[in-house]
Amino acid sequence: MNSKTSGSITTSNSTTGKLSSGGSSFMASAGSGGTNSAFDEGGFLEGQILEAPNLRTFTFLELRTATKNFRPDSVLGEGGFGRVYKGWVDEKTMNPAKSGTGMVVAVKKLNSESMQGYEEWQSEINFLGRLSHPNLVKLLGYCWEDKELLLVYEFMAKGSLENHLFRRGCAPLSWELRLKIAIGAARGLAFLHASEKQVIYRDFKASNILLDANYNAKLSDFGLAKLGPTGSNSHITTRVMGTYGYAAPEYVATGHLYVKSDVYGFGVVMLEMLTGQRALDPNRPNGQLSLVDWAKPYLNDRRKLARIMDTRFEGQYNSKQALQSAQLTMICLAAEPRSRPSMKEVLETLEQIEAMKSRAREARGGSGSSRDRGHGRGTAQHRSSPRTSDGRRGPSRAANGHATKAR
């Protein structure tokens, strides 16, 4: 993804911009005391915090071999602080393997000339290296050799949610798949918030939600993550970092970062999944640059909501589920952090919304209406692509790979 820099603000051709940023303080914050595998909210989160990063140390030669010398045709994605390459390793030994054999991995090669590249590399190791959960991308290992900084991740076959929502050539996701993805992402975020040492993700957005071969959502890119407030503190104060359109208003205005600042970002992504529109898009008509500002008046009324639902659904979605999802989105986007739900509450609500269809089928004796049967089947996401409301052709084919984005 090409990017351009203007002062301390970086904008990308995805129409979202990166706020000025600083390094993670996790090393200093987590250096005292061990980690904890017990959580305030219990076992439904299915995760654990490891006592120390359990990662393989790769040599630069091994990763160069695994990626075919970092050949251009191995590139999966590119951002302002490096590229991600497709590589192959032996599943048991993790030694480099011949292309097409063994296990596919994603190798991120960070820009060694950038201090932020180093800080994000360090933060990834200390967060993803110690956090284990089905809805977090698995960090397998790293390399720090001379000036070379690399990270090795599990390969996510379906790429990013951003690609499926917005990139030309990607198949539109069915309503049921979007709900599944939202639930998976909510589980990952709830896990981060529920640990004794809360983790604030700080960069929740569609490009950071990666999908495996079965469309299971996993959070990636922990370069901006921070440990949350301690004791009686409600927030931490830090340099403003994140992405325009997703960052919570109180954080952008004051630098005060709350755990529920992540909930706002989740609401923005929910809105993108409902509408098929980007959080920020200067190509939209006047007054519609900000998706949140434009869409909010439509979220509490079923008829109004239908006017802004993604046209690529072609009407094939459960309107009751959509309305309840929109109402949940509305409270996630509340101006005041204390008025937003916790991610545990968000997750529980989404699971109840998903269960609505099962209950309806049971009440009908297992026979769904034509409206319900029309979406959510295994091939429902591979429909033809009508034009969106602004006249652009929607995506039509799935992208494959572990995507990154411009900083």
Report the catalytic residues. Answer: 203
Adjacency order of strands within the sheet including 103-110: 56-57, 139-145, 148-154, 103-110, 82-89, 75-79
Please give the backbone phi and psi of residue 200, each rounded to the nearest 5 degrees, phi first. -95, 120
* Residue 106 near residue 154 (C-beta atoms within 8 A): yes
Give the C-alpha separation, 386 to 407, whole Å: 31
Strands 139-145 and 56-57: parallel
Q: For 46-71, b where at least 16 C-beta lie within 10 A, e where not — what string?
A: ebbbeeeeebeebebebbbbbbbebe
Confirm or deny that 205 is annotated as ligand binding. no
Tokens for 79, please give them: 């951002």
Number of C-alpha atoms within 13 angstroms, CB side, residue 126?
22
Neighbouring-strand partners of residue 12: 3
Residue positions forming the annotated binding site for ATP: 109
Residues of each annotated binding site: 109
